[in-house]
Each structure stands twice: as structure tokens, then as C-alpha cells.
């Protein structure tokens, strides 16, 4: 058994620096082993990262998201891509996080550089599968990402 691992300013600075150097503009730090039933991770995020609309269909894939530093915009969509709700998630703010049930299309947009997110959901890890990626939004690396990301960010202007 290992000792405690802390979510401290040193970890936040390291994740922010690694995210800034990453082509995807984000960096994960897992506190779990991949086989564990509960996955816990801190994620460093920069403003140009693209987290496309997606959902998790498995009944055990609810996910809890908490902003530890910075601000993120949460977008919630209907199955056909209609924007249903937005919410600013901000460290120390009115709303610091969300608990998302399975089956809800959602996306995040980074509103402050060097933001840090804590995520918790059931393991084991499963890549986004059939029916979980939004067909009405570009996937990471596809044409149209910059425009779609700008539209998502504009929802919080």
C-alpha cells in the first residue's frame, strides 16, 4: 500500500506546465491503477484543448467533476445536439463541479489558462465507444474543431 498523494500547488503547477507543452493542451495525473474499480485523476487544462461533446452509456459510468483551479464551462446537450444547459464551474465559485449521470451528452471548454480538474468515475477505463461520441460535433483532430471550440467558448462570453 502506498502513502497519501496530495492535490497541492506543486502538482497543479506541474500539470499546467505539462498541459501547455502537450499538443492536446491537457495532461492527466492518475491516482489510480487502471484495474481499480474507482478511477481518480487530476487533469491540467489549457484554453486551446478540445473536449468534444460525448457521453458514457454504461450504467456504472457516472462521473463527478470538480474544478480545483481556474474556470471551466460545462455544456449539456440533447441527443440531437441541442444545447440544453451551460454552467460555469469555478474553483471557489458558486458552482465548483458537477455529477453527471450516464447517458448525458456533455462537453467542457477551458475559460482560464492553467485550470485543474479532478475527475472520478468507475473503472476500468473504456474509450468512448459507439453512440458515445456526438455525431453532430467534430471529433478531436477533424476539420471544424477550431470553429466549434470558438462556438462553445462563446456560450460563456
The CATH number of whichever domain residue 47 belongs to comes to 2.60.120.10
Strands 38-45 vs 26-30: parallel, antiparallel or unpaired: antiparallel
* pLDDT in the model for residue 34: 87
Per-residue pLDDT of the chain (157 residues; tens, 9 = 90+): 578 999 999 999 999 999 999 999 999 999 999 888 999 999 999 999 999 999 999 998 999 999 999 999 999 999 999 999 999 999 999 999 999 999 999 999 999 999 999 999 998 777 777 789 999 999 999 999 999 999 999 999 9
Whole-structure pTM value:
0.94
In a domain, 149, yes or no: yes
In a domain, 122, yes or no: yes
Nearest to 89 by CA among 109, 103, 105: 109
Domain extent for 25? 9-154
* pLDDT in the model for residue 1: 59
Q: In what order do the strands lie in the sheet with 71-77?
A: 51-54, 105-110, 71-77, 83-90
In a domain, 3, yes or no: no
In a domain, 127, yes or no: yes
Cβ within 8 Å of residue 117, ≥6 positions away:
42, 43, 45, 65, 66, 67, 68, 72, 108
Amino acid at each position: 500500500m502506498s502513502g497519501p498523494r496530495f492535490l497541492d500547488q506543486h502538482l497543479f503547477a506541474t500539470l499546467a506546465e505539462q498541459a501547455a507543452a502537450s499538443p492536446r493542451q491537457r495532461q492527466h495525473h492518475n491516482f489510480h491503477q487502471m484495474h481499480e474499480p474507482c478511477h481518480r485523476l487530476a487533469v491540467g487544462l489549457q484554453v486551446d484543448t478540445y473536449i468534444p461533446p460525448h457521453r458514457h452509456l454504461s450504467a456504472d459510468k457516472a462521473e463527478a467533476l470538480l474544478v480545483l483551479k481556474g474556470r471551466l464551462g460545462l455544456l449539456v446537450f440533447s441527443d440531437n445536439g441541442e444545447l440544453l444547459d451551460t454552467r460555469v464551474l469555478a474553483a471557489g465559485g458558486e458552482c465548483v463541479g458537477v455529477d453527471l449521470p450516464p447517458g448525458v451528452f456533455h462537453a467542457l471548454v477551458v475559460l482560464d489558462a492553467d485550470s485543474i480538474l479532478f475527475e472520478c468515475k468507475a473503472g476500468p477505463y473504456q474509450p468512448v465507444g459507439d453512440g458515445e461520441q456526438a455525431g453532430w460535433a467534430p471529433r478531436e483532430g477533424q476539420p471544424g474543431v477550431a470553429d466549434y471550440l470558438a462556438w462553445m467558448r462563446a456560450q460563456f462570453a
